[in-house]
Amino acid sequence: MPIVQELKRRNVIKVAIAYAIVAWLLIEVTATTFPMLRLPDWTATFVTVLLMIGFPVALIFAWAFEITPEGIKLEKDVDRSQSITHITGRKIDYLIIAALSIALVFFAFTHDWRGEEGQDADSTADKSIAVLAFTDLSPEGDQEYFSDGISEELLNVLAKIPGLRVAARTSSFQFKGQNRDVIDIGQQLNVALVLEGSVRKAGLQIRITAQLVDASNGFHLWSETYDRELVNIFAVQDEIAAAIVGALKEHLGLQVAAVPRVIAAANTEAHETYLRGRYLVVQRTTVTLEGAVREFEKAIALDPDYALAHAELAMAILLLRRYGDMNLTEAITKATPHVERAMALDPTLAEAHAATGFVFWEQRNPGKALTHFRHAIRINPNYAIVHNWIAIVLGGQLGRYAESFAATETALRLDPLSIPGRVDYVFALIDRNRLDEAALAMEKLASIAPVKYAQVRGVLTSLGGKWANVILGYLDGLRIDPEIAGSRLVMHYYFAAIGLEKEALAIRDTPLLTTLWFLGKPEDAVTIVEARLVDDPLSRTASALGIALAGAGDYARARPILEEMWQRSGERVTLALFRTHDAAALIAIRRDAGEEGGIDELVAAIKDNVRRLHEAGIIRTGLLSDANYEEGLADFLVGEREKGLALIAKGAEDGYFIMPRLAYLQALYDDPGFAPIRAGQEARQKRERDRFLNIVCNDNPYAAVWQPEEGTCERFAATAGN
């Protein structure tokens, strides 16, 4: 057709193709980069509209004008014999090829980036929601526990919907009272939608207002106000949940067969008491946990068949062992009946399985603990804290380190502002020597938990044997908050590592066993363990008695304990149940009895643990654990002396502390090849001790929260430079 031929001659078709490719590329670039630059949504739309308007203009220009050696002219003014449209056409061909190449590279890059970095985008970020703490608008302002409870129960209902990622309470409640921009909150939590609202409660009248907001632009997608009598709060919550799910179906395309129901109590009073307990338990202090236990007990007294209250009471009791003065025997004895009652009342309750797993975990039964934790996750895939517990059980007790790290990542994705979750993740990266990633992940702590940031920074900068940095980091944390739980415990054994015995023993009334081993006092460790077991027979120190006795040279008493631990561990070495030092002690005990049989299996178990560490990328260069040291010790114990000593030396150079005066390691201490390793450790101890004392003995910056013991600085001044 003449018109088609003329379009080809004038390069109109090629211009159309080139324009379309370049325009598509520009649209894709703006769609990708403008949100990253936080430009308004209309800017990308404006570019698209502008390019669409330009398309017919470009075609008209190509038809009416021609490029000549003298410049651009109207096509009718160009002599056909002098036309160079064929040359211009080839240039446009090159442009098309170049544009296609750039487009392919861009597509490959963005596809790969979205596939790796934004893997959650399709599966989670696009189908995700955060439930913020509802504002208490009650006349007296004394119903915060109730408004928090309404929010949390709606969160728990949404968390059970398949295919929907729900930000955990820890993260979404971080913004309570801050009046932050919803778009900023969405970016912080990596969610598509935000549910916010308020509660006004006066007597038996309640008004609940809720609104669903698009976190990408702040537009309200749905809102409703519910004025009800406080006769059946559960029906109101179910009504709100059903409305929210309806909005989610519309805006996210979720397929929800049935809306999960709020777990009801027999009466409103029991429910309110339960809400007060939940409000207290999440604060994780001794006082609030004790208060939570009392509230849950009241809720059960009002409704003996309240399964959720039984489960939460059990977990609050077990947490008191960690945050309060309750010992393990007392905690398990008190928690177990409530765990059993919760399971009997409602075996489909995620919290019942979480509490049951918690008890088994404390009883050092990781197999059953993991079974119940996984069951809780099947019921509620967004149960972030249980993902954290799974990570600890898998890593410490079962030695499944790669799976443990995956669970840690999942927990942090669900609860991105969780302080324990982020700390665990940073330490997991440090263990793998992924230090740049650890430093980047740690920065988030600076704003949400400055104390933890100071502590973790101290650990991160301590690698390679700079042990004093850990103490300085924890002292920095104490300056921010002198009452922070656990700060002094970590300094306890680091003081011992740098040879400050008086400082190590002064931190707490009863020394940690690790501290005594670092100080070369295994006999004192035995005394303390035996005293603890009198008051707390189920204590985890029961297993520590075996290694303490072996360290002190009491092999006769140590052997039955260590043999039982070996059997209970499934004849497997891990980081918690039966460790490399437990295996080394049992090897020494069997050899002392003239029994070489069974030694190879213990050595093989140590090496299998090292293999699993390496497969998970773990190097664990640090004070308490090191894969090189553990592998080297295994080699040394089976007679591969030179290879073993070389690996032990490597572990010591990287910062592992080799404990002195342990009877079961006497063969290592006596080996001439160990002497330079010991000398190197002693030199490091002195270097780190002098470096630390040079800071705190001269205008001590930590004087308000910590002071060296009497005489320490005087001795340092007398020996400085020696």
Residue 300 confidence (pLDDT) above 60: yes
Backbone angles phi, psi at 136, to 5 degrees: -85, 110
Residue 75 confidence (pLDDT) above 80: no
Residue 410 pLDDT class (50, 70, 90 cuts): very high
Percent of the chain with pLDDT over 70: 82
DSSP letter for each residue of 251-297: HH----SSPPPPPPPSSHHHHHHHHHHHHHHTT-SHHHHHHHHHHHH
Range from 71-80, 177-186, 237-246 carrying the lowest mean pLDDT: 71-80
Mean per-residue pLDDT for 44-60?
70
**pLDDT value of position 122:** 33
Residue 36 confidence (pLDDT) above 50: no
| β-pairing verdict for 71-74 and 193-202 | unpaired
Mean per-residue pLDDT for 99-122?
45
Q: Identify the residue with better confidence: 17 or 530.
A: 530
Task: Say how many C-beta atoms besides its own lie within 10 A of residue 527's C-beta.
Answer: 13
Burial label, 543 (beta-carbon count in 10 A; 0-12, 13-18, 19+) = buried
**pLDDT value of position 684:** 95
**pLDDT value of position 118:** 35
- Read off the pLDDT of residues 285-295 as tens digits, 9 standing for 90 and up: 889 999 999 99
Residue 337 pLDDT class (50, 70, 90 cuts): very high
Residues 100, 105, 106: CA angle, nearest 5 degrees = 95
Assign 303 to helix, strand or coil. coil
Q: Which helix (H) or strand (E) holds 554?
A: none
What is the pLDDT of the chain when averaged over all its residues?
83
Instruction: Dig out the tokens for 300 from the structure.
Output: 């059960």
Closest CA to 252 of 208, 226, 215, 218: 215
Instruction: Dig out the tokens for 304 from the structure.
Output: 């003996």
Residue 336 contacts by C-beta under 8 Å, 6 or more apart in sequence? Answer: 314, 359
Rounded Cα gap, residues 193 and 252, in angstroms? 9
**Do the beta carbons of residue 292 and residue 285 sit within 8 Å?**
no
Task: Say how many C-beta atoms besides its own lie within 10 A of residue 517's C-beta.
Answer: 23
Q: What is the DSSP letter of 173?
A: G
- Read off the pLDDT of residues 164-208 as tens digits, 9 standing for 90 and up: 888 888 888 888 877 788 888 888 888 988 888 888 888 778 888
Range from 167-171, 340-344, 474-478 carrying the lowest mean pLDDT: 167-171
Residue 646 pLDDT class (50, 70, 90 cuts): very high
Residue 104 confidence (pLDDT) above 60: no
- Read off the pLDDT of residues 483-526 as tens digits, 9 standing for 90 and up: 776 667 788 889 999 999 999 998 877 888 888 989 999 999 89
Rounded Cα gap, residues 285 and 283, in angstroms? 6
Residue 102 pLDDT class (50, 70, 90 cuts): low
Mean per-residue pLDDT for 606-618?
93
**pLDDT value of position 117:** 35
